[in-house]
């Protein structure tokens, strides 16, 4: 986030309360079952067995010496079970120690003092055969840990420190046949003091600051020669894509005290290769295979990996085996993709990404893990599927670099990722002036470099990863930058490195080519069309109009009746579920705009329906403006990251969907704007534009634009035929609406339709506009918003009569997936449309069935018009209930119909 915004000390103090990294249980997760107390370690050479879980306890309650605690048979009476990736607080929540921290202000009641002392993590594992070598492989420790095995200390907290550093501890001499014990004494976390993770102003920070172990701890077994760091360097011929060269690399390490001759065998598909080498005692040497010595590593017609919507996502597998005297000593495997990423600066100094030679507009969202870093693969996969449904192509991770499975899923679905370090705490403490985060000591530099090396090695083979941002709000200084770049180079980092997410430069990398000019709070839809500040020019790394009020269903799950009453009645009230930042503590800017444009809310229900309408128009405008300007010859837009894609808790802002995966105006506004072939209105010059987000061009299109008073009286109608538009994000102007239309009401509706050569409607877009536009005071722009001096008058929508919408629905179930088909019809007898008609799939109790993928939603229907929508979801999420469909809208009475 743009945190020079944290200009005051009060804001800074509020922002950094939390550290992050590890697992998360989704909104439907049940209380975690106690983990298997003993991990059975495989004896196979090359095996890496993850510890299945821990028992944990505060050092304030344990006075026994570490030698006893870390020995087999220690009676961990009264300790709490924890999963294999768990913060302290995540484990305590799973054990029911505290009430739901996502509801009301429950989290404030959790005592922070409990987490200001170290905590013990203890786990047992069994080894049947001790003839091989054994090591502990770990990362994801927050913030640091003393490590003990079978009563002996094997590492100190000075050695194992930092959330991202990777450690391999040889414990061969300590491991015995049968039960073994590993214990970690986890140090408290402070993101201002430790190179870990912090939440900044996203949410109320967790009281434990995410202290714990949030990635798998592996027990590795092998022989005298270990294989590490296996990866593939790919070079794709661009633009032909006709061939690719692969270079395979790995480190062969002799862990014995004697010289060893080893044979390394490898394969990629049907191509096999082999090399024999002799290693001196404890020697490590790079083993490489290139097309010059293995012709099969020169591929003709390679299977090229593409982002979603641009092509397929094929992946290759590398397999390596090291043998000594015919006996397997170690194995390694790595999945990779073949693609080329370039990101030069254009003539305006903006970074322009190209994948496999094709330019693309980065359309993304800022990712948040669960606040307590609880990993739930299904929940993560659901959110990534939502990204595709929204037409997004990129996820940005500002710190909080998720486990390997996240990037595996991104590879599989073709979602690009922009990982990088975070702002506003220790990571930028050396360079961020007056913001939070302590200055670095000599001990911090090697931790930062080791963190960079570990993440580079982990991420480099994922084709979804297209950059690493080594700074966020600030760029690193010369020393830090050199350390990062040296680590990246040593790890064969294959894609562009960016100095910062803001418009900063570093000595070697130069300009970032990105901007972080906001906004982060409410601005009107026309803001996005100005080619200045956060408007649609260049690459905006994080931006939105701030608050995203969730649906009424979700609000009732996260706030008390009294809090909900305050939500709609008091714009000046501090909202705990917005942000710890004083800048974003209330909803005043947002609420003033909602009242000024739509009229004062009359009830909670009225407040929420106006919020959904406002969020739809604003999010749609943001993506439409960037989409329209992407191929401009002057100051084109090259990227936009919605801040944020999702929230790590129950939030009132910065989210395209809520914690429970419910969808409202923000979600469907983004989905509409990013349609593959899309017709849209321009708030700046009234042009009606067709944008083609597909690769292929389109021709023979028909665009129709019709203007109506809110009561449905038609005031203007124009049809343009023979419209054509190029692919890859090109746009074509079909017509321009007149500056004034005689007799048109102050508040009016615009209906745009796009039809193909056969007359089939392929895009429909309905706008609510005013002849009195929103007026911005650009001269008073702050880092987080631009003031609005007068609001568009949309109050005329409040006079629209209630219009009945008939609905019928049926459901088809195929195995684990169900599809509900809903047909809506405006049955009104007059001429008034049903505006913003929303359909929610619910169970027999009226609770939303989530996640769900709708073909479209929040649609406008004119009298006699019919639309058919489909909803696809997991049958299991009905929990045995018959599906029902709840229909409501801006001027449509709510009703629920069966959908079995």
**404-413 and 377-389 helices, crossing angle to 10°:** 30
Active site residue 405: no
The DSSP output letter for 109 is G
Active site residue 542: yes
The DSSP output letter for 553 is H
What gap in Å lies between CA 570 and CA 587, rounded to an integer?
Answer: 9
**Inter-residue contact 582 to 8 (CB < 8 Å):** yes
Q: Which of 192, 398, 542, 553 is catalytic?
A: 542
Backbone angle region of 399, left / alpha / beta, with phi > 0 → left and psi within -120 to 50 → alpha: left
What gap in Å lies between CA 129 and CA 722, rounded to an integer?
Answer: 76
**Inter-residue contact 17 to 112 (CB < 8 Å):** no
- Beta-strand runs (E) in 349-489: 354-355, 358-359, 362-366, 394-398, 416-420, 468-469
SS3 616: helix
Q: Which of 473, 675, 838, 858 is catalytic?
A: 473
Give the residue from 810, 818, 770 showing the smallest Cα distance to 790.
770
SS3 235: strand
The DSSP output letter for 527 is G
Pairing of strands 698-708, 714-725: antiparallel
Helical (H) or strand (E) element with 765 = strand 761-770
Give the residue from 398, 440, 230 showing the smallest Cα distance to 330.
230
330 Cβ contact partners less than 8 Å away, ≥ 6 residues apart? 45, 46, 222, 223, 225, 226, 227, 321, 322
Give the residue from 381, 382, 270, 373 showing the smallest Cα distance to 319.
270
Pull the structure tokens for residue 701. 């299109």
DSSP calls for 422-485: -SSSGGGTTTSTTSSSPPP-TTHHHHHHHHHHHHHHHHTT-TTB--EES-SSS---HHHHHHHH
| Distance in Å from the first CA to the final CA of the chain | 45
**Which class for 659: exposed (0-12), middle (13-18), buried (19 or more C-beta within 10 A)?**
buried
**Inter-residue contact 285 to 251 (CB < 8 Å):** yes
Please identify every residue annotated as catalytic: 473, 542
């Amino acid at each position: 986030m743009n945190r020079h915004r944290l200009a005051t000390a009060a804001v800074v103090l509020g922002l950094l309360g939390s550290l992050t990294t590890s697992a998360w249980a989704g909104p439907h997760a049940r209380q975690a079952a106690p983990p298997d107390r003993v991990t059975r370690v495989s004896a196979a050479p090359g095996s890496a067995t993850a510890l299945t879980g821990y028992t944990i306890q505060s050092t304030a309650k344990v006075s026994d010496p570490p030698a006893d605690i870390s020995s087999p048979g220690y009676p961990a009476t009264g300790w709490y079970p924890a999963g294999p990736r768990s913060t302290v607080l995540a484990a305590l929540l799973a054990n029911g120690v505290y009430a739901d921290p996502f509801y009301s202000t429950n989290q404030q009641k959790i005592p922070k003092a409990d987490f200001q002392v170290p905590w013990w993590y203890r786990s047992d594992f069994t080894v049947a055969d001790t003839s091989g070598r054994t090591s502990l492989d770990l990362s994801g420790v927050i913030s640091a840990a003393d490590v003990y095995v079978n009563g002996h200390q094997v590492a100190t907290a000075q050695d194992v420190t930092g959330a991202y550093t990777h450690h391999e501890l040889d414990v061969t001499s300590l491991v015995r046949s049968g039960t073994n014990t590993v214990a970690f004494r986890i140090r408290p976390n402070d993101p201002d003091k430790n190179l870990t993770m912090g939440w900044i102003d996203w949410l109320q920070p967790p009281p434990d600051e995410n202290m714990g172990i949030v990635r798998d701890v592996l027990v590795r077994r092998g022989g005298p020669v270990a294989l590490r760091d296996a990866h593939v360097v790919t070079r794709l011929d661009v633009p032909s894509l006709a061939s690719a060269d692969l270079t395979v690399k790995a480190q062969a390490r002799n862990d014995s005290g004697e010289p060893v001759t080893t044979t390394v065998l490898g394969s990629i598909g049907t191509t096999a290769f082999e090399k024999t080498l002799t290693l001196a005692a404890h020697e490590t040497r790079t083993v490489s295979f290139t097309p010059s010595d293995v012709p099969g590593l020169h591929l003709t017609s390679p299977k090229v990996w593409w982002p979603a919507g641009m092509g397929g996502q094929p992946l290759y597998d590398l397999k390596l085996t090291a043998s000594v005297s015919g006996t397997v000593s170690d194995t390694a495997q790595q999945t990779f993709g073949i693609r080329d990423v370039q990101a030069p600066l254009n003539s305006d100094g903006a970074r322009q990404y190209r994948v496999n030679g094709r330019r693309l507009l980065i359309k993304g969202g800022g990712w948040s893990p669960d606040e307590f870093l609880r990993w739930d693969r299904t929940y993560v996969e659901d959110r990534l599927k939502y990204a595709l449904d929204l037409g997004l192509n990129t996820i940005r991770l500002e710190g909080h670099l998720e486990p390997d499975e996240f990037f595996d899923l991104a590879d599989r679905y073709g979602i690009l990722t922009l990982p990088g370090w975070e702002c506003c705490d220790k990571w930028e403490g050396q360079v961020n002036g007056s913001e939070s985060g302590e200055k670095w000591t000599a001990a911090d530099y090697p931790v930062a470099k080791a963190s960079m090396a570990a993440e580079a090695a982990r991420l480099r083979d994922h084709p979804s990863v297209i950059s690493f941002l080594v700074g966020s709000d600030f760029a690193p200084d010369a020393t830090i930058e050199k350390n990062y770049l040296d680590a990246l180079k040593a790890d064969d980092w294959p894609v562009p490195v960016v100095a910062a997410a803001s418009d900063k430069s570093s000595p070697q990398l130069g300009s970032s080519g990105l901007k972080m000019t906001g906004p982060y709070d409410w601005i009107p839809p026309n803001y996005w069309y100005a080619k200045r500040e956060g408007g649609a020019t260049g690459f905006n790394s994080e931006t939105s109009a701030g608050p995203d009020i969730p649906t009424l269903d979700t609000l009732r799950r996260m706030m008390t009746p009294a809090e909900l009453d305050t939500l709609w009645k008091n714009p000046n009230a501090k909202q705990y579920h917005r942000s710890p930042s004083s800048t974003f503590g209330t909803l005043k800017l947002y609420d003033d705009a909602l009242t000024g444009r739509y009229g004062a809310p009359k009830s909670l229900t009225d407040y929420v329906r106006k919020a959904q309408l406002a969020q739809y128009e604003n999010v749609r405008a943001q993506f439409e403006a960037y989409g329209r300007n992407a191929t401009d010859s002057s100051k084109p837009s090259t990227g936009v990251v919605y801040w944020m894609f999702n929230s790590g808790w129950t939030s009132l802002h910065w989210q395209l969907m809520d914690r429970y995966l419910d969808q409202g105006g923000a979600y469907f506004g983004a989905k509409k704007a990013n349609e593959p072939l899309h017709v849209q209105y321009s708030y700046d010059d009234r042009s009606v534009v067709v944008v083609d987000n597909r690769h292929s061009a389109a021709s023979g299109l028909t665009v129709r634009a019709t203007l109506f008073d809110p009561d449905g009286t038609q005031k203007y109608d124009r049809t343009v035929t023979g419209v054509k538009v190029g692919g890859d994000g090109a746009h074509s102007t079909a017509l321009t609406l007149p500056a004034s239309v005689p007799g048109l009401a102050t508040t009016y509706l615009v209906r745009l339709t796009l039809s193909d050569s056969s007359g089939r409607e392929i895009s429909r877009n309905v706008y609510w506009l005013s002849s009195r536009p929103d007026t911005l005071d650009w001269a008073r722009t702050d880092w987080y918003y631009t003031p609005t001096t007068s609001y568009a008058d949309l109050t005329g929508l409040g006079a629209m009569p209630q219009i009945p919408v008939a609905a019928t629905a049926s459901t088809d179930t195929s195995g684990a997936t169900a599809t509900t088909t809903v047909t809506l019809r405006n049955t009104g007898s007059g001429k008034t449309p049903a505006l913003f008609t929303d359909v929610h799939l619910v169970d027999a109790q009226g609770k939303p069935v989530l996640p769900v993928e709708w073909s479209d939603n929040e649609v406008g229907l004119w009298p006699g018009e019919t639309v058919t929508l489909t909803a696809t979801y997991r049958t299991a999420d009905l929990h045995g209930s018959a599906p029902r469909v709840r229909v409501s809208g801006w001027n449509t009475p709510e009703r629920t119909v069966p959908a079995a």
